[in-house]
Each structure stands twice: as structure tokens, then as C-alpha cells.
Amino acid sequence: MCGINGIAGYNGDPIHDIGIMNECIIRRGPDAGGHFTDERRHVVIGHRRLSIIDLSEAGAQPMESHDGRYIMAYNGEIYNAPEIREKLTSSVQGLSFNGTSDTEILLEAISVWGLKDTLIKCRGMWGISLYDRESGSVMLTRDRIGEKPLYYGMVNGQFVWSSDIRAIASISGFNNPINKSILPIYLRYGYIPAPYTIYKNVYKLTPGTILTVAPPYSIPLSPDELPVNAAGFDISPYYSICEVARCGQAHLFDGNEEEAADELEARLKNTLKGQMLSDVPLGAFLSGGIDSTMVVSLMQQISDRPVRTFTIGFEEEAYNEATFAEATAKHLGTQHTQMYVGYKDVMGLLPVLSEAYGEPFADLSQLPTMLVSKMTKEHVTVALSGDAGDEFYCGYNTYKDAKKGLAIIQGKLGFLKGNTRRSVGRLAKGLDLTLPVGTGYLRNNIHTLNQVLNTKDTVEDYYRAMSDSSLIYGLIPDKALLSHMPSVSDDSYTDGLLPDGESNLMLMDMLQYLPDDILTKVDRAGMYYSLETRIPLLDADVMEFAWSMPLSYKMDNGITKKPLRNILYRYVPKELMDRPKKGFSVPVSRWLREGEMREWAEAILKNSRSLASEYINVAYYDKLWNKYQKDGNWSKILWHTLILCDWLLKQ
């Protein structure tokens, strides 16, 4: 696990700039650093290393291929690297390796098979930059689903890339303006979806793609300022989760539920054998929920020693699952460590959120995720996680709620057809935009009615409508932005792509929410403390099998994540797990109204007032804040705004 940087077509001091960029990502790679420079083509590549496999100098980066053609800086892990090495040595006569690092194996595989064919063979997570000395081309690629980050863009006429957007912003003379058009999207979701970032002309590389840029290293843009393929610049997919989903649903697994659990367990155990390889101490997060407990159960089955597990408990009982985690750890026989945290611990994190996440990011579960990562790093360098169970096995209640909600609306408003319904919707929209903030729930109810009346009769469109908020319209000072909001995956998803509504909602989340929220949260939290996180449920073989399961195998009669439960109950008594889901968060919605956190929030608003007025309607925010202090409404949109203002103050 590492961090990568680079500049192609540099016009400044490359050693100075790459040094500053490397310093920005030192938490991603505290063990060593280096750079490569091609003065002829003005290319410089930087790297910071967190040593996991082969701790010797044989794994140092940037690394040159044996034939001298390629220079690679790489962030991630290739779990099946030993198998790839074996294939290479059996097919290439006389090939030998300097060490055992997956970096060297990956680079030699690319030299033999090419980048795309190599990535298809790889099982792992990655953000890769590859420089071809022959052609001068730079290739960037990101793993299939987006575990590892990779930013790129243009700064002062230079093509740049990095694992951390802060490193790009550190380049001499950086003056890319804030992308105002993405702010309504950020306020809606609490994160910025790919390919956008907080800055203009800086982008997130979409998962499962390869970007190639040739001299003179420039990005052609569409009218809406998104990169487009042209001579010398190309972004092409090597993997499509949509195609995997469609293929899986078209060729459903024909065994019964028990046989499906058997197959999934076998694939997960095979995945874990690769993901548990490490030359440094390794453990796992154990929240006490279905997903992490299932992962730990299988880890303990294939391990010859007690697995190290880590849990944080919360002083707030409504949010605490530590007692359940402790009980399951005792049952499984793991070497368990837990720590209780509370208000003071969360307050200590608030000043570093902008640094840890690089751009505005406001998922409240980032707070406990950072706390458990910090505690875990005190004992191990690698931690496995149970993330992605909800998205692949129908775990979110919102999937059920959306389908039920649409059915209720269709029943109650079924008498409104076609043009009549849309006419009423236009009236509701007009009323929605004129109501003052003080009308509280009335305004939000009118807005919801407006959204529903203008929603197509699909669960996907209903799901989109429910994620919107009328408060965004009041918070954005430039109303023109609301008419020209960028298209994101949720909004452009093709309704009915898969046979049933729940599967479509899961796929929508895999395209946007999972990579841009959940995986961003986990990666940045871990990397802030130099902790590598690995997610077994995102292995390609596991993902592809998950999509071949019938929906009824995943959720039936109100029971969610059935395959994971069926595996788990083979190792942990059902009575230890049979309880309502609590989630992984802290009561910020209450804490923002009291004590130090309220003082923190009000100080941010006061100190950022003049700076933030260009991006949000501060007078409208004041009204929301005052109303919130009285009745506790709208804490989510307020938190999104506070994180934005805090980020602005720290730039």
C-alpha cells in the first residue's frame, strides 16, 4: 500500500514539485520514498511506500521493468501475485525476479501481456501509473470497483496525477478554481461523485478504466468540461460491473440456497488465502454485525493462529455493538482488542477531517471509521473489513422502503395520470421554491410531493427522488447552477437495466455510493493512520458470483443478506447475531446542538462567512441553523455544509 504522484509535460521545477507532492502523501507511505525523472519528455513520477510484501529494497518504487521500457508507480495489492509469477516464469524462458514484491511481478506481467490483459488476470486493488519510455505515453488505471483512489487533471498546462487531491493542489502555481457546479451534488449526497472533484479540471479516474495520454499531455474537454477521447487522450474500460451484473442475472446460479452458500464460502476462503498474505502484522475489523463477523469467522477457519480483531465501543448505548463483537470474538477464539470512545474522541477528529479526506466529504460514519483505524494501527499494519455486504446482498432497508414507497404512492396517486400528474407536479414545484425555510416539514413534504409527482413509475426513479432535498435550492446562491447540475451515475442510470427493482438499486449503489462514499471513507480513514484496509467481498470472483444469485437468495420475507447469514451461522450461533442493525455512526445530530461541538460549528460559520458566501447562501444557512437548534431538524444538510465551510477555511 502506497501513494503515487506524477507530472507529465512539467514546466516548473520537477524535483521541487514531486518532493512536495510526495510529502503530501507521506501518511499513505511512511516507510520510503523516491522519484523518477525523464528530462527529455519532461516526465516526473513520485512514490511513497508503505511496505507490506517484500520489505527489502527490491520492492522500492518507482520501478523499472527488466527490459527498461516501463516505469511504474503503484498503490495497492495484487493478491494472486504468486500465481501470476508462476505463469510468467513458465511461459517466459530465462525470466528471473530480484525479489518477491507484487510490484515487480505486476510490472513484468505488463511487459509480457500488456496492461489490459494483465489487469484482467489480477485479483486485488490498485491505482497504477505506468510510463512507456518508447512512446512517451502515461497510462493510469484504477481497480475494478474503486477501492484505491486516483486523481488526475491539468495544472498550469501540465498533466498531473496523484493518490491524493491535496498533492495536486500543492503543485507550484496551482490556481484551479473551485467547481461551483458540483456543489449542489455535494450538498445532496455529502460526497463528490466521480469523475468530478471539488476543483475544475481535476478529476477522479472512474473505476475499471485505463486512461492513456500521449505527448504533449493535454486533456480535451467536452462543453460541460468533462474529458473526452481524442487523439493523444483516451479513457477505456477494461471491466464493467454493469456487464457483470447483466451477465450474472441472465445466467442465474441453478443450485439451491444451501449450495449457493457453499459456493460463496469456497470463493471467499480462496480470496482470504490471498488477502491474508502479509510480511507485516495483519488483523480484521470486527463490528459485531453480519458482514465483519462472517469475514472473521472464515479468516479464523483458514488461519493456524488466533486472528487479531479490533472493535471500538461507544459510550452512547444506542450506537454500541462492542459487547456483541466481544462475545463473537470469544466464541471464535480471536485475539481481540477493543476500546471505548465518546464525545471527546470525536471532537479530537474534527480538526483533521479536511486533511484526511482532501476534499469535502461528510459521511458521519467517517468519524468512527477513523477512530477504529487509529486504534487498529497501534497493533497491525493491515486490516480486513466486511464492507460491501449491503450493496451486494440487499442489506440496506432503503431497498425495501423504496419499493414499498413507490407502491404506496402509485396506489394513493394512481388516479393522476400522465399530463395531469405532471401539471400538479409543476404546481407543487412552484410552491416548493417559494416557501420560506421556517415552514420546516411543510416545505420538505411539498418538495417530496413535487419529486414524486414528477417521478417515473420505477423504483429507480423513486429512489433518486428520495435522495433529493428542497434545502439545497435555498443554500445555493447562484440559482443558475441548479439548472445545469452535472450528471452523475445515480441520475444517468438506465431504469430497468436488470429484471427487478432491488437489483437495480444495488447496482446504482455499486456505481456511485459504494466507490465514492463507502470505499472513500474506508481508504482515507485507514491511510491517514498508514493502515492498509482490504475488502474480501470485492474480489472479482466473489462479486461475479454474487450477481448470479437469484434475488430471493439474498432477501426474502424481510430477511436481508441471506447468503452471508447462511455462511455465518455455520460458525457463530444465530442467537449471537439475531438483533436489529445499529449501523456504524455517532449521534452528531444531537451533539451539534450542545457543548463543544456546537461551539466548533458556530466558530466555523463565523470564520468562514465571507469566504463561504461565494458558494453558499449564508443567510439561509443561518435560518436553518437557528431552526435546527429549536427542533433538531436538518442536521444532515447542515453537517454537509459545515464540512464544506471547514474545508474552505483550511485551503
- Residues annotated as catalytic (active site), given as ranges: 2
Expressed in angstroms, the distance from the first to the final Cα of the chain is 27
Q: At what angle do helices 290-302 and 257-275 cross, to 10 degrees?
A: 70
Contact call for residues 73 and 21 (beta carbons, < 8 A): no
Contact call for residues 455 and 408 (beta carbons, < 8 A): no
As given in the structure block, the three cell numbers for residue 335 are 485475539
Q: Which residues of 326-335 are buried (b: 16+ CB within 10 A; e: fewer)?
A: bebbeebebe
Q: Which contiguous run of DSSP H or E holds residue 237?
A: strand 233-237
Q: Say how far apart CA 240 and CA 144 lie, in whole Å.
A: 8
SS3 annotation, 373-399: HHHHHCCCCEEECCCCHHHHCCCCHHH
Alpha carbon 611 to chain centroid, angstroms = 29
Q: Say how far apart CA 204 and CA 211 lie, in whole Å.
A: 11
Contact call for residues 95 and 83 (beta carbons, < 8 A): no
Contact call for residues 315 and 574 (beta carbons, < 8 A): no
Pairing of the two strands 308-314 and 532-534 = unpaired
Q: Could you tell me the CA-to-CA distances from 117 to 110, 131, 206, 275 in Å, in that order?
A: 8, 17, 18, 22
Report helix, strand or coil for 77: strand
Q: Which residues pair with 212 in a beta bridge?
A: 139, 234
Strand order, beta sheet including 335-341: 335-341, 308-314, 282-285, 382-384, 532-534
Scan for cell 465501543, then name that residue.
313
Q: Which contiguous run of DSSP H or E holds residue 162?
A: strand 158-162
